[in-house]
């Protein structure tokens, strides 16, 4: 055992947006435990507690090696009493009793299953649980009225739950790219979200679309959605992709009209040809149909840098950027703009680098925003 006096405490800056968080995590056991408690808090509508656990987990993710001794944590930011108790429990006993009992609790399990349905939030899930609905079968048998998104979410539950691979994301980029090119030849499309941060899987595929000429992006979203809805099949390099849009719901229709954002699921069959074995998944030449969640955002070029930064994530990194802007700089940051509260004016930026500079932060590239 290491003597406490010989232990050098770790140091990290307070805000996640001041840190470089790669996908490498030397403290996965601890961060998985804290993330589970965060998820439980969020599913119970205790967002404040959820954020506290997420911040604590992010600090541990940023450490250069595994924590072995509580004294290494002295002076680290964002580690509250509750998080420290969980960490101590795991370091001493290998597990945290609180985490284990949460994981096993009927309520947590039911909340996870029910909110896993596209279109079902924690409030709806909570109401169902109070009515004795704990799983998908009970929901199907209950005769509850489901909206269109929820019906589709239930129908495609297994597909949506299954992670999207990078190969699938690239294939979908091909088809969405073709759709964009055919409705607006000069428009540009970028992959954002977790895949831009270097993740190899995701719960969805996120795209940001813009047009080099301000104003020409107006009307692009509805055209794009119609194109995708018209059930298309296309060959891209060695990938055959057939897709149709399987769900849209009312609030999304509103969002399409505002030209802002669209969340949809594409039902895709991705067929890799034989000679593409090196880049496609090695053992699969053809996959069955599956539904994949896709987020589409259209941004005017003047807001593009803000949208790119805002949609690249991680969620905690974004939250911390906004907290830094507000608390340390007197500015308001969104995925549309940066506003200087003292000067009472908007600050323009045409790249992510410029936004970091305006915020007085060192530039953190996407693959180091995995807080």
| Binding of ligand GTP by 153 (CB under 6 A) | no
**Interaction between residue 335 and ligand GTP (CB under 6 A):** yes
Cα Rg, the chain, nearest whole Å: 22
Chosen from Mn ion, ligand GTP, none, partner binding at 366 (C-beta under 5 to 8 Å by type): none
- Could you tell me which stretch among 89-97, 107-115, 194-202, 321-329 binds Mn ion (CB under 5 A)? 194-202
| 3-state DSSP assignment of residue 154 | helix
Tell me, yes or no, if 295 is annotated catalytic. yes
Question: Which of the following is catalytic: 89, 206, 244, 340?
Answer: 206
- What is the DSSP secondary structure assignment for residue 332, as one 8-state letter? E
Q: How far is the CB of 293 from ligand GTP (least distance, A)?
A: 8
Q: Please name the residue ranges forming H helices in the chain.
A: 28-43, 47-61, 81-93, 97-104, 106-115, 122-130, 136-142, 148-155, 157-161, 166-183, 193-196, 220-229, 250-257, 304-312, 315-329, 352-358
* Closest CB to ligand GTP among residues 67, 193: 193
* Number of neighbours of residue 227 by Cβ within 10 angstroms: 17
Residue 7 CB, nearest distance to ligand GTP (Å)? 34
Nearer Cβ to Mn ion, position 170 or 206?
A: 206
126 part of the active site: no
Which of 50, 193, 310, 366 is close enough to bind Mn ion by CB under 5 A? 193
CA 330 – CA 344 distance, rounded (Å) = 10
Task: CB nearer to ligand GTP: give 53 or 128.
Answer: 53
295 binds Mn ion (CB under 5 A): yes
Site for ligand GTP in 206-265 (CB under 6 A): 206
Q: Does 39 bind ligand GTP (CB under 6 A)?
A: no
| 206 is a catalytic site residue | yes
- Give the residue with the Cβ less far from Mn ion, 177 or 310: 310
Reading across the β-sheet that carries 345-347, which strands appear in turn? 331-333, 338-340, 345-347
Query: How would you label 310-342 residue by residue, b for 16+ Cβ within 10 Å and e otherwise?
Result: bbbbbebbbbbbbbbbeeebebebebebbbeee
Q: Which of 244, 276, 295, 340 is catalytic?
A: 295
206 versus 217: smaller Cβ distance to ligand GTP: 206
Active site residues: 204, 206, 295
């Amino acid at each position: 055992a290491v003597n406490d006096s010989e232990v050098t405490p770790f140091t990290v800056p307070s805000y996640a947006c001041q840190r470089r968080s790669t996908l490498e995590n030397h403290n996965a056991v601890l961060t998985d435990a804290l993330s589970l408690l965060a998820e439980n808090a969020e599913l119970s509508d205790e967002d404040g507690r959820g954020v506290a656990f997420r911040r604590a987990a992010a600090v541990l993710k940023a450490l250069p090696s595994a924590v072995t001794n509580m004294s290494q944590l002295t002076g680290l930011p964002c580690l509250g009493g509750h998080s420290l108790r969980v960490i101590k429990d795991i370091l001493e006993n290998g597990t945290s009793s609180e985490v284990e009992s949460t994981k096993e609790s009927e309520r947590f399990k039911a909340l996870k299953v029910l909110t896993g349905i596209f279109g079902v939030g924690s409030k709806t899930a909570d109401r169902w649980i109070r009515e004795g609905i704990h799983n998908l079968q009970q929901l199907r048998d209950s005769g509850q009225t489901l909206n269109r998104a929820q019906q589709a979410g239930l129908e495609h539950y297994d597909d949506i739950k299954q992670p999207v691979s990078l190969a699938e994301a690239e294939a979908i980029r091909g088809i969405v790219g073709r759709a964009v090119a055919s409705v607006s030849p000069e428009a540009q499309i970028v992959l954002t979200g977790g895949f831009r941060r270097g993740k190899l899987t995701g719960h969805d595929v996120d795209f940001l679309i813009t047009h080099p000429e301000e104003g020409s992006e107006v009307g692009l979203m509805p055209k794009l959605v119609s194109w995708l809805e018209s059930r298309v099949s296309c060959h891209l390099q060695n990938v055959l992709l057939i897709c149709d849009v399987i769900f849209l719901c009312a609030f999304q229709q509103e969002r399409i009209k505002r030209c802002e954002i669209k969340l949809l699921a594409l039902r895709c069959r991705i067929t890799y040809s034989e000679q593409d074995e090196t880049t496609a998944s090695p053992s699969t030449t053809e996959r069955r149909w599956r539904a994949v969640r896709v987020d589409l955002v259209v941004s005017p070029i003047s807001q593009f840098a803000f949208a790119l930064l805002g949609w690249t994530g991680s969620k905690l990194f974004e939250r911390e950027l906004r907290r830094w802007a507000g608390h340390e700089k007197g500015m308001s940051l969104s995925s549309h703009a940066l506003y200087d509260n003292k000067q009472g004016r908007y600050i323009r930026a045409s790249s992510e680098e410029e936004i970091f500079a305006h915020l007085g932060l060192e530039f953190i590239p996407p693959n180091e925003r995995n807080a």
